[in-house]
Amino acid sequence: MNQDTLQWLLNSNEPWTRYRVRRDLLDQPENNPKVRVDRQAMLSEPAIKNLIAQTAGWPGNSLRRHNDASHLLHTFSVLADFGIRVNDPGMEVGIQAILSHHSPQGAFQSLVNIPKAFGGSDEDQWTWILCDTPTLLYTLAQMGLVEDARVCKAADFLVSLVEENGWRCVAATELGKFRGPGRKTDPCPIANLLALKAISAFPELRDSPATHQGVEMLLEHWENRRKKKYYLFAMGSDFCKLKYPFIWYNILHVLEVLSHFPFTITDPRFQEMLAILTSQADDGGCYTAQSMYQAWKGWSFANKKNSSPWLTFLVYRIQRRVSIAKSSWATRGEPNPKI
């Protein structure tokens, strides 16, 4: 990143971007005066206060589509991405509401309504599916509960669900034979992506066998993207469009998750995706959304006409993780790891 782009990010009117740039790109500690100023500005920002206030209404409307960008499930995950914590003003009610609903196995539950046409009951019920519970686990861990016994139990349960080809479409036993539109033995791309995202918050799990299986599933899907379409998930032109929040299956989301695992980043398939992503920079090295969720209209990352500080930061953070991993191997004199 050149200094002009860095300064542009630090001059942004988005305190969440400034805060994360200082923490994740500049490695400035939490007690750094400028970090503290930007974090307090984030907490005081009306848009952030509004999102936090919404979380107190968890579960909100029952979940009918897992890619419903307006659902509180994704409000929580965006706040976690920004760096909001469980002890920040206004977060306690929503966090406690999530913690109060979990299955006997440990998976955190959402209020879900599955139509009869898709094998459900057309009724609201507290349950979990592998395309919602990992997002709740990610939120809780990222917001500071990574050592909480309930959160750790949920992480262990998530790991236990992996198969030899990654995570498949799995749901709570009370949902009977319900699953997505695919073959039972096929891996589910979004389940793998969200499971890996949750696991990335637990350092001791980042090099686990489950992680390697999930990572290989995503990279294999990219390698065979012209031949395979698991559970209707494709990796075509729409997949390659820059898009946030991290709700569904797209190139930025996949690279954000994979970049947490150092053994992944020298893989040619990862490098190919990264080259496609970085080719979308403008002449100034900044990035603009190519697709957007209408529910987030008004945020810079949901504006297809102007470059977004937040999206620009996200891409540079992925590149920095790659650079750090390569430097670490070089310093230790070790060969680049392979999957």
Provide φ and ψ at 208, rounded to 5°. -80, 160
Give the separation between CA 108 and CA 249, rounded to whole angstroms.
22
Residue 96 C-alpha from the chain's centroid = 21
Query: What pLDDT, on a 0 to 100 scale, did the predictor assign at position 328?
Result: 74
- List Cα–Cα distances, 203 to 185, 190, 194, 200, 307, in angstroms: 29, 22, 16, 7, 33
Query: What pLDDT, on a 0 to 100 scale, did the predictor assign at position 175?
Result: 86
Please, are residues 267 and 322 in contact by the beta-carbon 8 Å criterion?
Answer: no
Q: What is the pTM of this model?
A: 0.95
Please, are residues 277 and 258 in contact by the beta-carbon 8 Å criterion?
Answer: no
Helix (H, G, I), strand (E, B) or coil at 292: coil
Beta bridge partners of 163: 166
Query: What pLDDT, on a 0 to 100 scale, did the predictor assign at position 114?
Result: 85
Residues with Cβ < 8 Å from 288, sequence gap 6 or more?
242, 280, 282, 303, 304, 305, 306, 307, 308, 311
The residue with tokens 């695919």 is 182
pLDDT in tens, 62-96: 998 888 999 999 999 999 999 999 999 999 999 99
Question: In degrees, to the nearest 5, what angle opens at C-alpha 324 toward C-alphas 219 and 162?
Answer: 35
Give the separation between CA 107 and CA 127, rounded to whole angstroms.
9
pLDDT in tens, 209-220: 999 999 999 999
pLDDT mean across residues, the chain: 94
Q: What residues in the chain have per-residue pLDDT under 50?
A: 339
Extended beta strands in 92-239, E state: 110-113, 124-127
Query: What pLDDT, on a 0 to 100 scale, did the predictor assign at position 205?
Result: 96
Residues with Cβ < 8 Å from 267, sequence gap 6 or more?
219, 338, 339
Sign of CA dihedral 92, 95, 100, 105: negative
CB-count exposure of residue 89 (10 Å: 0-12, 13-18, 19+):
exposed
Give the separation between CA 131 and CA 16, rounded to whole angstroms.
26
Query: What pLDDT, on a 0 to 100 scale, did the predictor assign at position 339?
Result: 47
